[in-house]
Each structure stands twice: as C-alpha cells, then as structure tokens.
Structure 1
Amino acid sequence: MNQPQSSSPTYTVAVLGLGAMGLPMATRLASKLTVHGFDINGARLELAAAAGIVVFDSAQGAAAGADAVLLAVRNGDQLREVLFGHNGISEVLRPGAVVIMTSTVGIEDVTAVAARLAEHGVQLVDAPLSGGPVRAGQGDLLIVVGAEPAARATAQPVLDLLASTLSVIGDKPGDGQAFKTVNQLLCGVHIAVAAEALALAGALGLDVESTLATLSSGAAGSFMLANRGPRMLEAYTEDGAEVLSRLDIFVKDMGIVTTAARGLGLATPVASAAEQVYLIGQAAGLAAADDSAVIKVVAPQATA
C-alpha cells in the first residue's frame, strides 16, 4: 500500500488518524516534510495518497522509523491503546523519536503515558491545539506546548508548519494539558451561556439574528458567541448546523475541568453547571450534533 513520494526530505512524521483534523494537518505537513499516514478508513487513505502522503495499512508501519508521530485521539484510553495496546506503536518507535499529542485528555493520562514512553527512549510533546480543519490545512492553529527542550526541538519542524501561534507553556508533559483545561473551562462556559442568552432573546420576542449581531459588537461579545451563535440558529433547521465540534467533546472536556478542580479542592460552580447542560444534551440524543446544538437543551423549539 505504500505510495512513493517524489520528494523525500530527511525529516519524517507519521500522522495516525486522517479524519477531519488529521488529513488537513497531514496535507499541510506534506508540503515540506515526508509524511506517513494511517487510518482505519480506506477512503481516507485514498484521499491522503492523493495529497502526497505515504500511506500504510497499519499504525506500526506508519510509525516505524519516524522522527515524530502526531496523534489526535479521543481520550486517555485511546491514547494508551495506540501506544501500548495490541500492535501498539511503542514497539516500533526509534529511540530519540517524539510523540506529539494534540488532544485534550487530561493531565494525569499524559504524564503517565510520558513516563512509559521514556522507558522506550521516546519523549512526549504535550501539544493540545485549537482551530478547525480549514485552519489546520493553512497552518493557522493555536498550539500550546509542554515538553522538555530537547523534545520540543525534535518536534519543531511539525509545530512550525501547523501553528500560527505557538506558545511554550511549560517544560514537561502535562503542562499543555493544564493550560488546555483552563482554556476549555472558559470555552465550555461561553458556549453554554451564549445558548442561554440567545434562547432568552427569542423567548422575549426579539429578532435573534439582529440581537446576535448587536451583542457580538458590544461588551457582551465573545469569540464563542460570534462563532457558535450563527450555528445555534441553524440548530433548529432540518439538518442542523454542520458538525465542526461534537457536543460530546465538551462532555469530556468539562469532565476533565471539574475533575481537575475537585482534585485540587477548588470550587468551580459555573463550570459544573455548564457540564450538566452538556450532559443533558448528550442524554437528549445530541451527542453527535455540533456543540452549538446545546441551545436545544434550554429551548427545544425555536421561539422566534
């Protein structure tokens, strides 16, 4: 299944998972680096091959000999399975390679995995990112990094191509997760409260579209209101809003936030309330919907 590539730069990165984010990131990286790719979906492999990515029929095959492996997984269990499970890639990673972890899975999972990888001579670069598929393909992501300086240096060719804003938040794995936990607290609360505000506007008989435009230009505006607000209005259409970020991602992320805070003895009543809203949405069958559909938790039917 391996496809030849016309140019073979000396630096090789394996991208495991060629979904909505993985494929545009891999395509962006292939503009300058040798990129190995793997996905369980054959159609995604075909798209990757057409984009100049060297495709493999196994994760181990893609990761063998790579300087860096880029992972985007759903949670800590998936992270451990990819690395250490049956046919896990830790068995084939060369000493000195780095694993770049771009997902939000929580501090404890990342620090534990980093310790296990170190036994193989491999370092973990904790690099959670923000941005969507379009920005990923343009190298316009926000990436925060927690990793030892040597590991950051090895990962730098990958990070430089993907990020327009790259912030080193700390010198050890887990620091990136800590920052992203704080970030997701704010994002999750902002989306939930934006839903309440627009639902209230509709219930009061206001024109919701003009209310949204006016709010977004004033002191009450936020990125999440401006970004998710229009999609919240689409939630009531027959097909709903395009799924750019699933609602159950915030079930996971707000769970990470409240678990971390509880472990520190820190009260987070607003984040905890927002977590319940996402949980209600998930229970109502909205798990796979765009997270903007959270407005249907407080207003199941459009009110204006």
Structure 2
Amino acid sequence: MSADESAEKSNVAVIGLGSMGFGMANSLVRCGHSVVGYDPSATAREKLAATGARIATSPGDAATNASVVLCVVVNSAQTDAVLFGDGGVFPMMAPGSVFISSATMAPTEAKRLSSRLAERDILYLDAPISGGAAKAASGALTIMASGSPIAFDQVRHVLDAIATKVYRLGDEPGIGASVKMINQHLAGIHIAAACEAMVLASKLGLDLSTVYEVITASAGNSWMFENRVPHILDGDYRPLSSVEIFVKDLGILEDIARAERYPVPLAAAALQMYLATAGAGMGRDDDASVARTYAALSGVSLPSTKAAS
C-alpha cells in the first residue's frame, strides 16, 4: 500500500457494535477515519463513544454524510432492516457511496440486497468476515469479499484498517457469501468435533489439560480445537461466538445444500448438537457449550462452569 493510500480517510458509518463491530469501528478510529456508530444497545453505544467515535440515534442518522456504511449484524434479515427498515440507511446514502455487508447470509440474499441498492447507484460489497473478536479488535480480520472493482477501489483503505487479509473473490455479490458458508461449514463441524472428543477424553478418565497439550502438537489439531478447548478447560462459556450463531449458519448451509441436492451429513449432525445445546438454554453462551451437552448426555463432569454473561 502506498503512502498516499495509507493517508486516505473516509467518513464511515458502522452499524452493529457487538464484539466484532465494535472492534472494527475501533480499528477505523485508530487509523484516523471519521467514524459514527449505531447499535440498539445503549451500553454498546457508550463503549464506542469512549473511543472518540460519534454516536448516532439510528442507522439512517449514522449514514448521513457517510461515504461508506459498514454493516456488522447477524443475518440477512437484520441487514435488510438496517437498509430498508424504519430509520434505515438506504434513503440517506448518496449515489456512489458503498455499503459493506459483513453478515453471514445465503448468496441469494447478497444478490438481492445488491440489486436493490443498485436502483439508486449505491455500491454493494459482499464482505463476510472471519477471525473472532480478538482479531477484530486488532484490525487483523480476514475478509472474503466480492463486488465491483469500483466498490473495492473506493473502500480498500477502509478494509485495510480492519483486516490483514482481504480476498477479492470476484465481481459479483454472492461469491463472498458462498465462501463464508464453506468456512462456517468447517468451523461448525470442527467445534462440535472438538467438544465431542474432549468429553470422550473425560469419560476415559484422561487429564484434559494433558490431552489439549498433546493434540495441539499432533495431527488431530485444528484452529477451532486450539481456540475453543481452553474455554472448556477454564469452564468459561461467556460468549465470544454463541451457539445460536451456528444454529443459524449451519441452518443456512443445509438450505443451500438441499437446493443443490448435495449431502452434508457431517454438518447436519453438528447442527443437531447446536440445536440440542440451544434447546437446553445455552443458545446465548459460547459455542464450546456443545461440550456441556455431551457431558450431560454421558454423565461426565467437566471443569467448573463460570457464570456466562
């Protein structure tokens, strides 16, 4: 990136200030962008205000005078509400401005939203994210993006403030969404597998810390195993990524696979464990809570659970 590019700044509206959106907004502030944020939660708004960003009273208010709107919500329904609901951003965005959508959604939904924005010459970048709250906070996310070259060129400096890896996957919205679903397919299975394996280790009377040390140095390791098993060892299920996220994402995956007449039995089995965990009242807890479902089914004791919040 050239010195001129690194110096480029924008007025950026960030809608959705959860663990990911807050970190992304804070990264933009650190890089010198003019940031205005909105979230329904007063606590989230106050937290962002402490970083020096401005706070809006609605998504539309945030989008006023913004050249870029970064939407970091959960799904396509929430994205649709941000755009077209009461107080939405669509009427406030100027032609030629860019809407960056980071929600996980079906590719067909990304295409639909892009088409609606094109009616007013608003550019749409299909840009799902990966990396978790820690990487969001440090500006080190991975972005799987697709959209027109013009959209990419206009927001490249914004993407560089929030990510260390930006993949340009194609010119059509929906490609980024498709790649994110492949990532979620694997991530959902890997977390469920890690939980299943660790509860089995406990059932066999093994020391779980030792098992973790051995597996992370062995071929059975995965990024999700290494990242989530410490939550089990610490009995800490405060949500960094909740069970409900994978209820949603693997549900979308099954819909896509069914439409393609493609079997996804491993993802289907993992989804049942997330559903069982959510049904047991742990939907808003960390996704490593799947281990607690396995433990309850098998009569296994896990490390003492800290209060989830």
TM-score (norm 1): 0.92
Residue aligning to 1:271: 267
RMSD: 1.5
Amino acid of the structure 1 residue aligned with 2:29? A
Residue aligning to 1:98: 98
Distance, in Å, in 2 between the alignment partners of 1:112 and 1:84 is 13
Pick from 271, 280, 294 the counterpart of residue 276 of structure 2: 280
Instruction: Rate the CA distance shift 1:272–1:48 in 2: closer, same or farther, 3 A.
Output: same
Deviations 1:259-291 (A, max 9, x none): 111111111111111111111111111101100
**2:38 counterpart of 1:20:** no
SS of the counterpart of 1:21?
helix
Structure 2 unaligned spans of 5+: 1-7, 303-309
Residue aligning to 2:241: 245
Distance, in Å, in 2 between the alignment partners of 1:78 and 1:275 is 22
Deviations 1:151-175 (A, max 9, x none): 1111212101111111112211111
Distance, in Å, in 1 between the alignment partners of 2:50 and 2:229 is 36
SS of the counterpart of 1:144?
strand
Deviations 1:33-80 (A, max 9, x none): 111112223333233222111222222111012111000112211111
Count of aligned pairs: 292
Residue aligning to 2:252: 256
Residue aligning to 1:4: none
Contact (CA 8 Å) 1:71, 1:99: kept in 2 or not? yes
Distance, in Å, in 2 between the alignment partners of 1:280 and 1:43 is 31
Amino acid of the structure 2 residue aligned with 1:134? A
Distance, in Å, in 1 between the alignment partners of 2:260 and 2:212 is 37
Amino acid of the structure 2 residue aligned with 1:268? V
Contact (CA 8 Å) 1:99, 1:123: kept in 2 or not? yes
Distance, in Å, in 1 between the alignment partners of 2:129 and 2:24 is 12
Residue aligning to 1:145: 145
Alignment of 1:44-123 (within 5 A): 44-123=44-123
Structure 1 unaligned spans of 5+: 1-8
Contact (CA 8 Å) 1:247, 1:287: kept in 2 or not? yes
Distance, in Å, in 1 between the alignment partners of 2:134 and 2:199 is 29
The CA deviation at 1:209 is 1.3
SS of the counterpart of 1:242?
coil
Distance, in Å, in 2 between the alignment partners of 1:185 and 1:49 is 36
Residue aligning to 2:173: 173
Residue aligning to 2:205: 205
Distance, in Å, in 1 between the alignment partners of 2:112 and 2:154 is 21
Distance, in Å, in 2 between the alignment partners of 1:185 and 1:24 is 24
Contact (CA 8 Å) 1:277, 1:294: kept in 2 or not? yes
Distance, in Å, in 2 between the alignment partners of 1:135 and 1:179 is 19
The CA deviation at 1:18 is 2.0
Amino acid of the structure 1 residue aligned with 2:48? A
Pick from 269, 286, 290 the counterpart of residue 290 of structure 1: 286
**2:167 counterpart of 1:161:** no
Identity of aligned residues (%): 38
Alignment of 1:123-138 (within 5 A): 123-138=123-138
Amino acid of the structure 1 residue aligned with 2:93? L
Deviations 1:112-140 (A, max 9, x none): 11110110111111111112223212111
Contact (CA 8 Å) 1:125, 1:155: kept in 2 or not? no
